[in-house]
């Protein structure tokens, strides 16, 4: 089985690359498992000061793997998504997400859990769940604390597409820059982080993420159950079947 997520460690920087082009980096069981394993490996390396999550290809993440979702059994998948967000939030190493392509639905959980998010201005985002008879239950764990209340209400309920400039204005991403400047901006931020001492980075991140981690610990199990039930509902199955038929 080919690897869908790659890890490269160069001095103090661990780069994790999503590379599942056949399904636009959808959050399949394999991709989530490999992503978590690589985060754990990088975080355990005493030389690593920064973890960067990026994507190969034109799409950062298309959300849930609809083929797996339509086959049922999404409660376990939802639990993995909760665990993934918790892992990113509790990793002792700062996690930077580099966005050079669109992000949809569940992929926003990676964005919400990260410490710093840098995006090219043309990158688009969409919370598509309501159009599939679902709710953004799992990703609300990390997104609700990041977004303004009004922005969360509008974007969760309307499922409209928005760009990285707006995402920066509402707190979803740290900064949006012209596409040609993204690599340099990532290098600059990574360079600044790499100058930090491990203890300083670890304890500062712990302070910043205390409320987020508590929220995930408190609400995660219940929202995973809700998500699994919604995916298994007749209404959602009908919506997902229609979605898959449109893509064929």
Q: Are 118 and 182 in contact (CB under 8 A)?
A: yes
Cα dihedral 107, 109, 113, 117 in deg (nearest 10): 40
CATH superfamily for domain 5-179: 2-enoyl-CoA Hydratase; Chain A, domain 1 (3.90.226.10)
Round to whole Å and give the CA distance between 122 and 168: 12
So where are the chain's domains? Answer: 5-179
Tens of pLDDT along the chain (248 residues) come to: 899 999 999 989 999 999 999 999 999 999 999 999 999 999 999 999 999 999 999 999 999 998 888 777 688 999 999 999 999 999 999 999 999 999 999 999 999 999 999 999 999 999 999 999 999 999 999 999 999 999 999 999 999 999 999 999 999 999 999 999 999 999 999 999 999 999 999 999 999 999 999 999 999 999 999 999 999 999 999 998 898 888 66
Report d(CA 132, CA 159) in Å as an integer.
10
Report the predicted TM-score, pTM, of the whole model to 2 decimal places. Answer: 0.96
**With contact defined as beta carbons under 8 Å apart, do 44 and 222 qualify?**
no
Distance of CA 8 to the CA centre of its chain: 19
**Which letter does DSSP use for residue 23 in this model?**
G
d(CA 191, CA 202) in angstroms, rounded, equals 17
Identify which of 166, 172, 168 has the alpha carbon closest to the alpha carbon of residue 144. 172
Residue 100 near residue 60 (C-beta atoms within 8 A): yes
């Amino acid at each position: 089985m080919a690897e869908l997520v790659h890890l490269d460690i160069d001095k103090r920087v661990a780069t994790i690359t999503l590379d599942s082009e056949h399904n636009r980096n959808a959050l399949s069981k394999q991709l989530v498992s490999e992503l978590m394993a690589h985060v754990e490996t990088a975080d355990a390396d005493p030389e690593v000061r920064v973890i960067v999550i990026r994507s190969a290809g034109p799409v950062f993440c298309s959300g849930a793997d609809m083929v797996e979702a339509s086959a049922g059994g999404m409660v376990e998948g939802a639990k993995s998504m909760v665990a993934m967000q918790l892992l990113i939030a509790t990793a002792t190493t700062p996690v930077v997400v580099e966005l050079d392509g669109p992000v949809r639905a569940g992929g926003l959980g990676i964005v919400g859990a990260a410490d710093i998010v840098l995006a090219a201005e043309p990158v688009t985002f969409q919370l598509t769940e309501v159009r599939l008879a679902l709710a953004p239950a799992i990703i609300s764990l990390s997104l609700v604390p990041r977004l303004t209340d009004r922005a969360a209400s509008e974007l969760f309920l309307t499922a409209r597409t928005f760009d990285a400039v707006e995402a920066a204005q509402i707190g979803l991403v740290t900064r949006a820059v012209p596409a040609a400047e993204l690599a340099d901006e990532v290098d600059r931020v990574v360079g600044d982080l790499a100058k930090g001492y491990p203890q300083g980075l670890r304890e500062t991140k712990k302070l910043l993420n205390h409320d987020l981690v508590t929220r995930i610990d408190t609400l995660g199990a219940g929202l995973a159950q809700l998500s699994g039930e919604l995916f298994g509902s007749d209404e959602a199955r009908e919506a997902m079947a229609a979605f898959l038929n449109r893509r064929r």
